[in-house]
Amino acid sequence: MSIKDNRREYDYATLSRDSLDRCPFAQFSQWMDQAMGAGIIDPTAMCLATVDSNGRPWQRMVLLKGFDDRGFVFYTNLGSRKASAIGGHPEVSLHFPWLQMDRQVIVGGCAQPLSPSEVADYFSSRPQGSQLAAWASKQSAVIDSRAVLETQFETVSERFSDGHIPVPDDWGGYRVVPTEFEFWQGGEKRLHDRFSYLLTDNAWQIQRLSP
């Protein structure tokens, strides 16, 4: 089968204006709960899109580590490509691809740095191996081989052999404060249901979009 012939119908569910919650955070929470309950692999995985100082977009998958009516939280190395882009252009986009449920959610907003206390609280909750990896990897930096990375991991493992692993100076996180949401439910014959929430004068305006 060729790529152009690879297709299927989207018939998991439908989405109507009446079924939507007036609050996009509540609607997202409902869909997240359903995605987790459906056994989707990595339901908290989201594609983060940034734009660098030259206007070039880039995307990568990161894990959502918390959300509430203030925004969506993720953590990263502050020397990474994503952090560098955010430093110069904090407007970003998040995309949740719940394709097993014929659903997608897009969130647009501004990425704001988390406080040191928020970062420390989360870092202390991570498995020891993940804490050590944060010290071992200078994210996005060029390395000669995997052996270099493994050696760095062994070095920091010995350094913190007493079990106390502090937060690295170059590790932190962001909260994406939304100004726009889009909820997409795949529909038969490509008649998808799409609804946007746009923040206008401190109120969320809901609109149906053509597929």
Nearest alpha-carbon partner for 81 in 60, 66, 65: 60
Query: What is the distance of C-alpha 162 from the center of its chain?
Result: 33
Q: Is 190 a catalytic residue?
A: yes
Q: What is the token pair recorded at 174?
A: 């962001």
Q: Which residues of 93-127 are buried (b: 16+ CB within 10 A; e: fewer)?
A: bbbbbbeebbbbbbbbbbbebbeeebbeebbeebe
Q: Which whole-number Å values give the CA distances from 99 to 104, 141, 186, in the listed order?
A: 7, 32, 9
Contacts of residue 198, defined as CB under 8 A and 6 or more positions apart, other chains included, come to 179, 180, 204, 205, 207
Tokens representing residue 205 in the block: 């305006």
> Helices 146-159 & 128-136, crossing angle to 10 degrees?
120
Q: What is the DSSP letter of 23?
A: S
* Catalytic site residue from 17, 22, 70, 190: 190
Tell me which residues are annotated as active site. Answer: 190
